[in-house]
Amino acid sequence: MTPHADFTAPSMGEPDHENIIRVLVVDDHPPMRMGLVALIKSQPGMDVVAEASDGEEAIEIYEDVQPDVVLMDLRMPGMGGVEAILAIRKKFPNARVIVLSTYDLDEDIHRAMQSGAQSYLLKDMPIEEIASTIRSVHAGDALLPRPVAERLTERSQREQLTERERDVLESLIKGRSNKEIASSLCISEDTVKSHLKTLFAKLRVRDRTGAAVEAIRHGIVHLK
């Protein structure tokens, strides 16, 4: 796809301190990809070795070119960033991935870091910060910008939802009544109400409408 020069195997032997950082750019927006490529190529000591426009492509290409660092968008059609990171790190546990997202939703950040990303940047950050993070992550650090770290703290203060609570929440956001949620999950209506009670407490809302809005606001469930 994108021409990448002859590369030397990153495993074994001599440290790559003096080598150029080989970056894989993953984003489904062509102009954004173009910008990230321009950004990286404008920096000394790093270069783009390949591009991908969704998760599956990213996995394939990663195996081929085995880049030093991946710059990965989160929301993409088909396979998203999180699944791609999981797949890549399953096969290459040392893979270094920086998530670059439009959104600073606490759940997104949490899921990304959970899946093994080394950092999480926002697209409204200056290009210097993106470049310096690529260097840091390549050097083995895993740092989060202040505002992102703060969001992650927010999320940790919110109580974890159980699997069943998530199910109810998702069903709720589809516009279903308690009765409908019950039958869709094959449980009694009382059980639904029971889950809703704890759900309201955990999300700190009074009713289902508040729960729906909070869930969307924090990225706990995604629309569409």
Give me the residues that bind its own copies (CB under 8 A), please: 28-36, 38-39, 77, 100, 102, 123-127, 130, 172-173, 175, 177, 205-210, 212-213, 216-217, 223-224
Q: Which is nearer to DNA, 91 or 193 (CB)?
A: 193
- As measured in angstroms, the least distance from the Cβ of 178 to DNA is 3
Q: State residue 169 phi and psi, 5-degree precision.
A: -60, -45
Partner from DNA, its own copies, none contacting 146, C-beta within 5 to 8 A by type: none
Q: Which is nearer to DNA, 202 or 222 (CB)?
A: 202
Q: State residue 7 phi and psi, 5-degree precision.
A: -115, 150
Contacts of 192 (CB under 8 A, 6+ apart): 168, 178, 181, 182, 185
Partner from DNA, its own copies, none contacting 212, C-beta within 5 to 8 A by type: its own copies
Q: Which run of H or of E encompasses 22?
A: strand 21-26
- The answer to whether 209 contacts DNA (rule: CB under 7 A) is yes
- As measured in angstroms, the least distance from the Cβ of 167 to its own copies is 16
Residues comprising the chain, all counted: 224
Which DSSP string corresponds to 143-202?
Answer: ---HHHHHHHHHHHHSPPPPHHHHHHHHHHHTT--HHHHHHHHTS-HHHHHHHHHHHHHH
Give residues in contact with DNA (CB under 7 A): 160, 162-165, 177-179, 185, 187-188, 190-191, 193-197, 200, 206-209
